[in-house]
A and B are shown apart, each in its own frame.
Chain A
Amino acid sequence: MRTFEYHAPQTIDDALRLLQAGESARPVAGGTDLVVQMKERATRFPYPETIVSLDRVSELRFIETGGDALRIGAGATMTDVAADSTVRAHYPALAEGAGVVGSLQTMNMATIGGNLCNAAPSADTAPSLLVYGADTVIIGPKGRRTLAIADFFRGPGLTALEPGELLAELRLSAQPASTGSIYQRNTPRKQMDIAVVGVAVALTLASDTIERARVALGAVAPTPVRATAAEAALMGQPATEETFARAAEAAATEDASPIDDVRASAAFRRHLVKVITSRLLVQAAARAKDNR
């Protein structure tokens, strides 16, 4: 790896100051994506001259419940998120997404902020945050702003962050009662893999009618995406296998726009979206009933 200047600020303010150098300065958190890309000279931006490591910024590493919402610091590791009792109880899809990233070692190092800022279409925490309607809190030289997670991703490796800005935290509002949610991905191996397809689902049921539906897909579009056609097919419908099959079909044919790559063909990805979405809707409905 070519060398660089290295800083390890302890506060967000110091980190922001160090990042004012613009494109030539890049933040790193767990390093499990960025360090690999730098070793392979495969960054989507010029090779950094300055690295600002966020691993000492304790303000970024927290998971807190405040009022109705859950706040997760961008510096929380995948292990932190996957093991957190609140996340597991109330946002299980997020725990499931965080709990499958790479190896245990990866999960001990990688942060949720890094997973999102790396902006891979296959990012395992993204679909669940989309179905939970999370907000990102971004801090930059001009102050703090809030952006819906759906607006955060702009393309493979691209986010809404302006130069000098940091993703600071995620805010997840309370889910309605009778909501069931789940994330699953498909990979050839049972671990140490990148999602061929990732699907998150959140269903809110009023008796057996779907009152609210959120479906999001990973690895089938330039960014993780909400499956709006699938959601439309679910809203107000009875929670039956027929409904789920229709929604899964819509997710596969209308919401997914996959490509062929080294991991799978576009056609197989569409097929998997249908199969997995339909299965997850059944499971999310069962969880919703458990949450009554």
Chain B
Amino acid sequence: MPKQLISLTINGTPREVTVEPSWTLLETTREALNLTGPKEGCGTGDCGACSMIVDGRLVTSCLMLAPQANGRRVTTIEGLQTNGTLDPVQQAFIETGGLQCGFCIPGMIMAARDLLDRNDNPSPKEIRDGLAGNLCRCTGYTKIYEAVELAAQRIRGGD
């Protein structure tokens, strides 16, 4: 079966990569592009650890075929820092203790970033609703809720 050449903009950088059509976007970023931040926790879209933002939409990259990302802008956890400075969401997760084993975190932070991109003043309920596609087994979410509140506050400029 023919491999395909796809081009995508990953974390702001245009890249070309040859893929098997059956590769998922997750495999492509991890294996071909060497971005191992996004994780595979289930492979079936049930845990959210592979979450990325593709053309402004939060997706589970374990279910997106690599060629479906052709021509699209993809942001992974590696793309959140700007000029060596952590994104406010990343910073907040550290400060509130919103991470433990860390395996869900690359997806969780993308989901939190996506939530705050849509709504920088989420209510506690909106935070809980907005993260429901991302399972965390370690924290019980409490400190993740606190991280998102703290990040939102800083993004709004109320630090």
Contact = CB atoms under 8 A, between A and B. Distances in A.
Contact of A1 (B22, B58, B64, B130): B22
A2 B22 CA distance: 7
B111 interface: yes
Interface of A: 1-6, 8, 28, 30-32, 35-36, 39-40, 51, 53, 55, 79, 102-106, 108-109, 190-192
Contacts of A4: 1, 21-22
Contact of B64 (A3, A8, A31): A31
Given A8-B68, A31-B65, A105-B133, A51 B24 contact: no
B20 interface: yes
Contact of B44 (A5, A6, A36): A36
Contacts of A39: 43-44
Q: Which 10 A-B pairs have the closest CB atoms?
A: A103-B133, A6-B21, A3-B22, A191-B132, A108-B57, A105-B60, A1-B22, A35-B63, A3-B1, A3-B20
Contacts, number: 88
Interface of B: 1-2, 4, 20-24, 43-46, 48, 51, 57-60, 63-65, 67-68, 70, 111, 114, 129-130, 132-135
Contacts of A191: 129, 132-133
B1 to A, nearest CB: 5
A102 B111 CA distance: 14
Contact of B45 (A36, A51, A55): A36
A3 B23 CA distance: 8
A103 to B, nearest CB: 2
Nearest to B114: A104
Given A3-B20, A36-B44, A109-B59, 11 more contacts: A1-B22, A3-B21, A5-B1, A35-B63, A40-B44, A53-B68, A103-B45, A104-B130, A108-B57, A109-B57, A190-B132
B24 A35 contact: yes
A103 B48 CA distance: 9
A104 B45 CA distance: 11
